[in-house]
Amino acid sequence: MAVYTHLASGDLDALIAAYDVGDLISAKGIAEGVSNSNWLVETSGADGAGARFILTMYEKRTDPRELPFFLGLLDHLAARGCAVPATIHDREGSAFRHLDGKALALIEYLPGISPDRPSPTQAHAVGEALARVHLAARDFEGTRANDLDVHACLVILERCGVAKLAEIDPELGEWLGEARELVGRWPDDLPQSIIHSDLFPDNVLMLGERVTGLIDFYFACEDMMAYDLAVTHAAWCFDRGGAVFSADIGRSLVGGYESVRPLEPAERRALPLLAQGACLRFTASRAQDWLDTPTDALVTRKDPMDFIRRWKYYRAHGERLFA
Ligand SMILES: Nc1ncnc2c1ncn2[C@@H]1O[C@H](COP(=O)(O)OP(=O)(O)OP(=O)(O)O)[C@@H](O)[C@H]1O
Ligand SMILES: N[C@@H](CCO)C(=O)O
């Protein structure tokens, strides 16, 4: 489910007419995704040869005031050859428009599918693509703080409270102490750039072993580049439940990253802690969503315990993994 708003065909026609992309042929709602409404739009194309786009309507989770940052970042990265979709600007030069009080953007369609079970070669390619984004984003003018950094995530967990966390899983409440200890040791002096911060497999499009698109930059922010690598490691190197770790994928991901941007010694030393911080991030947001989402809601809740399992793994084996 990811079409929350009905778009009348007249509104769609008028919307597409504001862009230099030819006439509207079709618009189909896209089932994947949970935050925003997305349509696959086909037009006759500016040159009459046909064209495809993604139309995104920003729903509650994305603050429209942040769109200049998110969409400007896509244009900046696309212009520097990164595998990200560029935004299509309307005839007045704007990267987004409004309809019935909601913001909409027309985005370049990129081919590819998200890998279910990534291979080491695919993980290597994703590591390379991530490092290219970090390097290309360094001279992006926009700034955005990480509102889900480990400090904010600790606050989220504290607000949930031990009793509610224990209702999700008795073990979860016990991790508050672990989270406090981790945040107390969190580094703040590693090299920064704009980071994606949510590069799960469902946010990567691939054709075979080639990355064709990194998408969903709506958590992008200024933070430590090695932390982004740690997030990607936690998202790619385990089975969905977080019980089974794949050393091959991990080595390939870090190897791919370092083939473009070698890590500094301090970044490498910090990776075991950064990976645990990544687990704190997704444990906290998932726990909050779990408690806020009614059990009969259409959206499937993501299990915070998937990231407690990863956290335990990094705590036990992190030093060896990243040595
Ligand atoms: N630029 C693009 N080119 C091709 N397909 C895309 C593009 N952007 C999004 N998609 C497709 O639309 C789907 C939903 O997009 P996305 O994941 O950004 O949705 P969301 O609701 O904003 O995010 P999330 O589910 O992470 O909250 C993706 O899984 C992908 O199939
Ligand atoms: N990718 C995240 C959702 C966005 O924060 C997760 O799997 O929990």
CATH code (residue 186): 3.90.1200.10
- What integer is the mean pLDDT of 14-42? 92
Residues 29 and 68 in one domain: yes
Q: Which residues line ligand 2 (CB under 6 A)?
A: 198, 200, 282, 285-286, 302
d(CA 63, CA 139): 24
Q: Is the CB of 38 under 6 A from ligand 1?
A: yes
- Report CA(13)–ligand 1 centroid distance (Å): 22
Of 80, 108, 136, the one marking the end of a domain is 108
- What integer is the mean pLDDT of 72-77? 98
Residue 233 has pLDDT above 90, yes or no: yes
Residue 1 has pLDDT above 80, yes or no: no
- Report CA(113)–ligand 2 centroid distance (Å): 18
Residue carrying structure tokens 């862009």: 19
Of 88, 108, 128, the one marking the end of a domain is 108
- Report CA(319)–ligand 1 centroid distance (Å): 35
| 193 domain residue, yes or no | yes
Q: Is the CB of 57 under 6 A from ligand 1?
A: no
In this structure, what DSSP letter does residue 185 have?
A: T
d(CA 244, CA 309): 9
- Closest ligand (CA of 36): 1
- Which residues does 54 contact at the CB level (< 8 Å), separation at least 6? 30, 38, 39, 40, 41, 85, 106, 107, 108, 109
Question: pTM (2 decimals)?
Answer: 0.96
Q: Is the CB of 30 under 6 A from ligand 1?
A: yes
Task: Tell me the average pLDDT of the chain.
Answer: 95
Q: Residue 54's domain is classified under what CATH number?
A: 3.30.200.20
d(CA 193, CA 76): 13
In 104-223, which ranges are continuous DSSP H helix?
A: 120-137, 150-160, 162-168, 175-184
Would you call 238 helix, strand, or coil by DSSP?
strand
The model's confidence at residue 256, banded by pLDDT at 50, 70 and 90, is very high
ipTM for this model: 0.95
Tell me the backbone φ, ψ of residue 278, rounded to 5 degrees. Answer: -60, -40
- What integer is the mean pLDDT of 39-66? 94
Residue 108 has pLDDT above 50, yes or no: yes
pLDDT value, residue 186: 98
The model's confidence at residue 323, banded by pLDDT at 50, 70 and 90, is confident
Residues 170 and 305 in one domain: yes
Among candidate residues 190, 160, 188, 192, the one with its CA nearest the CA of residue 176: 160
- Closest ligand (CA of 86): 1
- Domain range for residue 192? 120-321
Residues 187 and 285 in one domain: yes
Helix (H) or strand (E) holding 105: strand 102-108
For the chain, give the percent of residues with pLDDT over 90: 89
The total of structural domains in the chain comes to: 2
Q: Which of 149, 228, 302 to mutate to test the pocket of ligand 2 (most atoms within 8 A of CB)?
A: 302
The model's confidence at residue 294, banded by pLDDT at 50, 70 and 90, is confident
The model's confidence at residue 20, banded by pLDDT at 50, 70 and 90, is very high
Q: Which residues of 214-226 are buried (b: 16+ CB within 10 A; e: fewer)?
A: bbbbbbbbbbbbb
The model's confidence at residue 298, banded by pLDDT at 50, 70 and 90, is low
Of 78, 108, 138, the one marking the end of a domain is 108
* pLDDT tens column, 145-174: 999 999 999 999 999 999 999 999 999 998
Would you call 319 helix, strand, or coil by DSSP?
helix
Q: Is the CB of 83 under 6 A from ligand 1?
A: no
- Report CA(226)–ligand 2 centroid distance (Å): 19
Residue 288 has pLDDT above 70, yes or no: yes
Taken in order 109, 89, 68, 140, the sign of the CA dihedral is: positive
Tell me the backbone φ, ψ of residue 284, rounded to 5 degrees. Answer: -65, -50
Q: Is the CB of 110 under 6 A from ligand 1?
A: yes
d(CA 248, CA 266): 23
Report the nearest-CA residue for atom 31 of ligand 1: 32
